[in-house]
Structure 1
Amino acid sequence: MAEAILSAILGDFISRAISLLIGRFTSGKESTEGKLQRISHLLIRIHSVVEEANGRHISNHGTLQWLSELIDGEYQGCYLLDSIGYGSGQEEANELCDGDKVVPPQVSTLSLFNPAKRVRVDGGTMRRSNKFVSWRHNVGAADEIDRVLERLQGVSHDLREFIMLLQNCKSIRRPLATSIFREGQMFGRHVEKETIINFLLHEGEQSPAGELGVLPIVGAVGVGKTTLVQHACDDARVCNHFAVIILCSFSCVYDVKNNQVTLIDPLEFVKRNSFRDKRCLFVFENVDRHKKHILEDLLQILRRCCKEESKVIITTNNRRVANIGTVEPIILRVLRCAEYWFFFKAHAFAGTDTEGNPSLISAAMGIARKLNGSFFGAKIIGGVLRDRPDPNLWCKILRSNIGGNAPDG
């Protein structure tokens, strides 16, 4: 048995070494189209594994980090391919925008990015060979193609091992998606969502005995804290685990299970209801330094009146508020350019084929960059663009001042 394992390891090592040598020998001779074709094929493989992982309950932190790297590589590759197609519509978009030039994505924006959720990849991605001409003589772009290809080759080497790990993770029954718009709401946050769910489902492992578990989620305005928490609360695993799920904004409470909104102070709401025999989840949104003092008093009451194993999530843009938590906070950062582009694209195009509208892609990429990673902006502006696919309107939006702060998404 030991000899068989050793033989398999040596065989795998030799195979990878030969592949590496062949790759180095042929990299200078391979055409740009060939490299992009390989990127497209690698993306299909990686995407299929990511889809499988998204249907599993992954509780191991290391496996989640591994998934994060796969998603990261997927987004780099897909953003690169979209950026190449961008060039063919730039001139047309500039004309539509009355001389207001649409600045193409810089090569530097294709550097390493944080994890993201899912993108849709198919073999048709590479039917754009006529758009590669301007890239063939761009040294910086050629270097970026090589970097992305190397990155994808690196993360795809151990896909078999990753798939084997997934087999030990419990399958999640997910409803069939009916709209890419809904799927698009969680781009970039799958790993964070699973971290929240692991906190909610694990009883007594992450907090001192008898202590009410409190998880802070910290991030700037518009980064998507509310969206993330809503998706975690909507997950079937969480809904089945908690008898009561309450969202509190300090002026009203929303009972998720009964779909009821009550204009009442959360402290008064807790006093009027009995939760002693129920496992509860309370979510307190947008907690600032002033509300922190109110929440501290409220937590004391919840510790006494809620059943053990109840949990609390707070969202805040103030790191000093996070010390109220009983576990390490989740820090949400603004999605980088490639991640945010696919989040925005899902809202603006809603799954439609964009191949025939290169000028719209050009305008949309410019709009996405001006929104500075705002989840709220992607939902609102993207929805407007989706309902009115008029190039003139899109160019007006591109010229407008849409890059300011937006409410939390």
Structure 2
Amino acid sequence: MEIFLSAVLGELASRSINFFISKISKPRVVLDVEDSLQRALLRAQVIIDEATGRHITNQAMLQQLDMLRDAMYQGRYKLDAFRYQYHDEEDAKDQVVSHSSSLLKLNSVKGIFSCKTKTQILEQLEDALDNLSSMILDVKELVVFLTGYPRLYHQPYSMHLLLSNCMFGRQMEAELVLNFLLHTQPNGVEELEVLPVVGPARVGKSTLVAHVCSDERVRDHFSEIVFVSDHDFKDEELTHLWERCVKKCQNSTPSKYWRTLVVVEVAGDINETEWKRLYAASKRCMTIGSKIIITSRSDKIAKLGTTRAVTLKYLSEEAYWYFFKTLAFGSTDPTMHPRMAYVAMEIARMLNRSLISATSTACLLRDKFDIPFWCKVLTFLRGLIKWHASSFGEHPSDAQRQNKPAHLVRMVRTS
């Protein structure tokens, strides 16, 4: 009997020890994955920063870099969600509740990991790590080839300074437009090249083209850059097109070839007859090497191009968070302010991937780097979006994207 009891007690003790060991070791596994993901993100950032500083003309390399960039955004998003909405969840809730009674309803906070188990969180982090690691392995040859492309500029110290000098999330599209503009046709070819740029409203089509046109290489390549709207070529007298168009970025020292770049902005579909008249008039007036870019929300303009259209989409949720976080925190490390990072993540989710809202709201937050104020902004946005959805049936940014009036209100100034 004593031998049996001894065996049972020994088995119970062994199981208890194993149980406590597993309880203790589980967070360690999560922390190991977190550290590995952080290192992989750093490696990906090094590759992307190096590529961003070079003029890459190979479209396959641009696509590969874009995939790596997406994987990096997804990895950062999941890592931040783990750190700020799970790891520091209780502290963030306490801070939020103490400053706003409306945030007491924690079940309304639909955070990324608010309802997930530790196992699910670990799986999310492991998936992000595996995806990013495989992408880094895939670009090994790309890293070698990068050194063969010329540098563009020196990277500034802080990423928030870089955002003012580049189109965030549009690096591949910007390079495609730039390569189209700087590409020279073989001798004897006199075709007037056309590049369509397609995308929904407020996605950044005009901003992308304006950004590329401000590039010094483009301004040196073309003697003048002309911006035309679809209203400018409905008149019969297209021979006087250049007298009616608004000329921008005209070079003070024009190229000896006198190349012209025409940017045509069309709201929706374009009448094919009007387009043929515009194209014919442009071909008569413009010299060899001149080019046309046409932007529109309609996919139908893609068939007007002499090359493949550049298509823009709204930023992914992961890329949008990276953009908003960088603007809101500036040179400050978000990991040093986990409560504020948690609130910022909720604010970014409320903005529904609107670039205009991200820029203005992030500037507001950065100017008043204070957790009570950030919580008030979050409370205000929740109330505004709830009211707008109940009154008009949609988010304010969705209304703006459809060119509908969006009803906004002001925050009450506090003393």
* TM-score, normalised by the number of residues in structure 1: 0.73
Aligned to 2:31: 33
Tell me the percent identity.
Answer: 30
Distance 1:222 1:182, change over 3 A: farther
Cα distance in 2 for residues equivalent to 1:150 and 1:308: 50
The match for 2:242 among 270, 279, 290 is 270
Q: Which moved more, 1:215-224 or 1:152-161?
A: 152-161
Residue 148 (structure 1) aligned with residue 146 (structure 2) = no
Give the aligned partner of residue 57 of structure 1.
Answer: 55
Return the offset for 1:94: 5.1
Residues 75-94 of structure 1 correspond to what in structure 2 (within 5 A)? Answer: 75-87=73-85, 88=88, 90-91=92-93, 92-93=95-96
Shift of the 39–176 alpha-carbon distance from structure 1 to 2, 3 Å rule, reads: closer
CA distance in structure 2 between the partners assigned to 1:293 and 1:348 by the alignment: 48
Does residue 1:318 correspond to 2:298, yes or no? yes
Alpha-carbon shift at residue 45 of structure 1 (Å): 1.4
Q: Displacement, 1:159? A: 4.7
Larger RCO, structure (CA 8 Å, separation 6 or more): 1
Alignment partner for residue 109 of structure 2, among 103, 106, 111? 103
Shift, 1:405, TM fit: 3.5
Superposition map of 1:201-240 within 5 A: 201-204=182-185, 209-240=189-220
Secondary structure of residue in 1 paired with 2:399? coil
Match of 1:12 in 2: none
Deviation at 1:197, TM superposition (A): 0.9
Identify which of 390, 397, 405 aligns with 2:381: 397
- Say whether the 8 Å CA contact 2:159–2:326 is kept in structure 1: no
Q: Partners of 1:172 and 1:95 in 2: how far apart?
A: 49
CA change 1:323–1:41 in 2 (3 A) is same
Per-residue CA distance 1:200-246 (angstroms, 9 max, x = gap): 111227xx932221111111112121222222222232222222123
Give the whole-Å Cα distance in 2 for the aligned partners of 1:343 and 1:67. 18
With normalisation by structure 2, the TM-score equals 0.72
Aligned to 2:170: 189
Find the aligned partners of 1:293 and 1:394 in 2 and give their Cα distance. Answer: 51
- Mind listing any 5+ residue stretches in structure 2 that lack a counterpart? 1-25, 248-253, 386-395, 403-415
2:19 is aligned to none
Q: Is the 8 A contact 1:248 1:284 kept in 2?
A: yes
**Which residue matches 2:333?**
353
Question: Secondary structure of the residue that 2:334 maps to in structure 1?
Answer: coil
Partner in structure 2 of residue 382 of structure 1: 362
- Structure holding more helix per residue: 2
Partner of 2:413: none
Which whole-Å CA distance do the structure 2 matches of 1:97 and 1:395 have between them?
8
2:197–2:296 contact (8 Å) kept in structure 1: yes
How far 1:181 moved relative to its partner? 5.6
Q: CA deviation at 1:53?
A: 0.8
Paired with 2:101 and 2:227, the residues of 1 have a C-alpha distance of: 47
The residue type equivalent to 1:223 in the other structure is V
CA spacing shift, 1:174–1:242, aligned 2, 3 Å: farther
Q: Relative to 1, partners in 2 of residues 1:94 and 1:167: Cα closer, same or farther, differing over 3 Å? A: same
Give the drift of 1:350: 3.1
Which residue in 1 is equivalent to 2:46? 48
**Match of 1:188, SS?**
coil
CA RMSD of aligned residues (A): 3.6
Task: Report how far residue 54 of structure 1 moved.
Answer: 1.0
How far the C-alpha of 1:135 sits from its partner, in A, is 11
AA of the residue aligned to 1:371: L
Alignment of 1:293-372 (within 5 A): 294-372=274-352
After superposition, the C-alpha distances for 1:48-80 in whole angstroms (9 at most, x for unaligned) are 111111122211122112212221221122112
Distance 1:286 1:177, change over 3 A: farther
Aligned partner letter, 1:312: I
Letter in 1 for 2:380: K
Match of 1:124 in 2: none
CA shift for structure 1 position 370: 2.9
Contact 1:248 1:266 in 2 (8 A): no
Q: Residue 261 of structure 1 corresponds to which residue in structure 2?
A: none
Contact 1:216 1:314 in 2 (8 A): yes
**CA 1:299–1:193: 2 relative to 1, 3 Å:** same
What is the CA-CA distance between 1:343 and the residue it aligns to?
A: 1.8
CA contact under 8 A between 1:135 and 1:142: conserved in structure 2? no
One-letter identity of the residue aligned with 1:404: D
1:199 aligns with 2:180: yes
Q: In the TM superposition, what is the alpha-carbon distance from 1:281 to its structure 2 partner?
A: 1.4
Deviation at 1:329, TM superposition (A): 1.1
The aligned amino acid for 2:315 is: L
- Tell me which residue corresponds to 1:245: 225
Deviations 1:226-285 (A, max 9, x none): 222222222232222222123334579xxxxxxxxxxxx998551479999511112222
Q: Compare CA radii of gyration and give the structure with the larger one.
A: 2
Q: Classify 1:399/1:347 alpha carbon distance in 2 versus 1 (closer, same or farther; 3 Å).
A: farther
May I ask how many residue pairs the two structures share in their alignment? 345
Deviates more, 1:30-39 or 1:276-285: 276-285
Structure 1, gaps ≥5 residues long: 1-27, 108-133, 253-264
